[in-house]
Structure 1
Amino acid sequence: MLKIKSLKKSYIQGSHTVEIFEDLNFQVKEAKRVAIMGKSGSGKSTLLSLISGIIKPNSGDIVLNNISYKDMNESQINDFRATNIGFVFQNFHLVSYLNALENVMLPAKVCGIENPKEKAIELLKSVGLEHRIDHLPSQLSGGEKQRVAIARALIHNPKIILADEPSGNLDEETGIAVMDKLFELIKKNNTTLVLVTHSKDVAARCEETYKLVSGNLTRC
């Protein structure tokens, strides 16, 4: 499903070069749930951005669903990301002036999916928010916002979900409930998951856990 080959990524900060990844190799099998842990600043979010194609590596390649990023230009990568990847962020990233239903429908509109409204309603029901369809993000609790984000991530049936600390801004009880729903829907849809987390309890729910240290991923 996902192959990272000899990946190198660095940033220029003033007169210094900061190496994030020098020679990263990593694979995730289809429908697996994989957790990535590591200290703040270790490169976890950068790794997700590279997998999504939002940022480019200095060298190396990423292959998702047998498609090499090297073979695509920026426009093609954007289209590929829109149709193949779903995102769940720590800070939700809902559009403030759109209601829950409209937020969930956004990826479907970009991908040209038929009957997006019906699919969005079905997903909101599946996360227990059928009674909040017309509510704006400002009218939703943190847990409700994240459940909307989960529904949005799944509406276009992505090949892979990239989740960056999805329970990080939630209290423990709400976080558990949200993660229960995420894992339930991931399993139901047979979707691959790459999850960045600081929580050992969340990581333990995945089939594989890796620790990111000094630009390398080590199986825990």
Structure 2
Amino acid sequence: MLKLKSLKKSYLQGTQNIHIFEDLNFHIQKGQRVAIMGKSGSGKSTLLSLISGIIKPNDGEIVLNDTSYNALKESQLNDFRASNIGFVFQNFHLVSYLNALENVMLPAKVNNISNAKEKAIELLKSVGLEHRLDHLPSQLSGGEKQRVAIARALIHNPKIILADEPSGNLDEETGISVMDKLFELIIKNGTTLILVTHSKDVAKRCEETYELIHGNLSKC
């Protein structure tokens, strides 16, 4: 479902070339739930950015759902990302001037999905926010914002969800509640999940856990 083949990624920092990945190989199956752990600065967020196509590797190949990113032009890759990938971020990244319903509808509109409003309402109901449809992000708690973000990530039925520390900005009780909802919907829809987390308890909820060490993924 997802294959990373001999990925190389480095950054120029002043005159020094910083190597993040020199020969990274990895694959996961459709519907699999995988956690990725690692120290700060180990490259976890860079890895998600590569998988999403937001940044490009220096060399190697990324294949998602039998489509190689190398075969796509920039505009094609943007369209592919919009229709195949859902995102859940630590800092929510909701549009401040749109209410909860409008935020959830965004990916559906980009993908020209019919009945976007009805689907968004149904998803918000499924995360317990049917009473918050017309509330702006500033009127929502952290847990409510993250539940809106989960609904937004799922509305276009993506092939894969990339979640970057989705409970990182929440207190323990709220974080558990939000993760319960994320995993409930992921399992219900059979969606593939790559979850970056520092929490061993969160990682245990996935089928497999890997640690990113020195640019390589080691199974825990």
- TM-score bucket (shorter structure): over 0.9
Secondary structure of the 2:201 match is helix
Partner of 2:144: 144
* 1:115 to 2:119 alignment: no
1:64 Cα offset (Å): 0.1
Kindly report which structure 2 residues correspond to 1:42-53, keeping only aligned pairs within 5 A, or say none. 42-53=42-53
Following TM superposition, the consecutive aligned residue runs of length 4 or more in structure 1 with deviations greater than 4 angstroms are: none
Secondary structure of the 2:41 match is coil
Deviations 1:162-191 (A, max 9, x none): 000000000000000000000000000000
Give the Cα–Cα distance (whole angstroms) in 2 for the partners of residues 144 and 71 of structure 1.
39
Partner of 2:14: 14
Give the Cα–Cα distance (whole angstroms) in 1 for the partners of residues 61 and 122 of structure 2.
37
* 1:40 to 2:40 alignment: yes
Deviations 1:65-84 (A, max 9, x none): 00000000110000000000
Structure 2, unmatched stretches of 5+, are none
Deviations 1:76-117 (A, max 9, x none): 000000000000000000000000000000000000000100
Give the Cα–Cα distance (whole angstroms) in 2 for the partners of residues 194 and 28 of structure 1.
9
Give the Cα–Cα distance (whole angstroms) in 2 for the partners of residues 204 and 130 of structure 1.
30
Percent identity over paired residues: 83
* 1:203 to 2:200 alignment: no
Give the Cα–Cα distance (whole angstroms) in 2 for the partners of residues 74 and 166 of structure 1.
28
Kindly report which structure 2 residues correspond to 1:120-131, keeping only aligned pairs within 5 A, or say none. 120-131=120-131
Partner of 2:153: 153
1:49 Cα offset (Å): 0.2
Letter in 2 for 1:202: V
1:128 Cα offset (Å): 0.2
1:39 Cα offset (Å): 0.2
Partner of 2:105: 105
Deviations 1:181-215 (A, max 9, x none): 00000000000000000000000000000000000
Structure 1, unmatched stretches of 5+, are none
Letter in 2 for 1:152: R
Give the Cα–Cα distance (whole angstroms) in 2 for the partners of residues 139 and 90 of structure 1.
18
1:154 Cα offset (Å): 0.1
Give the Cα–Cα distance (whole angstroms) in 1 for the partners of residues 131 and 26 of structure 2.
42
Partner of 2:60: 60
Letter in 2 for 1:10: S
Letter in 2 for 1:150: I
Count residues with an aligned counterpart.
Answer: 220
Give the Cα–Cα distance (whole angstroms) in 1 for the partners of residues 87 and 206 of structure 2.
17
Letter in 2 for 1:29: Q
Give the Cα–Cα distance (whole angstroms) in 2 for the partners of residues 28 and 36 of structure 1.
12
1:59 Cα offset (Å): 0.2
**TM-score normalised by L of structure 2:** 1.00
**TM-score normalised by L of structure 1:** 1.00
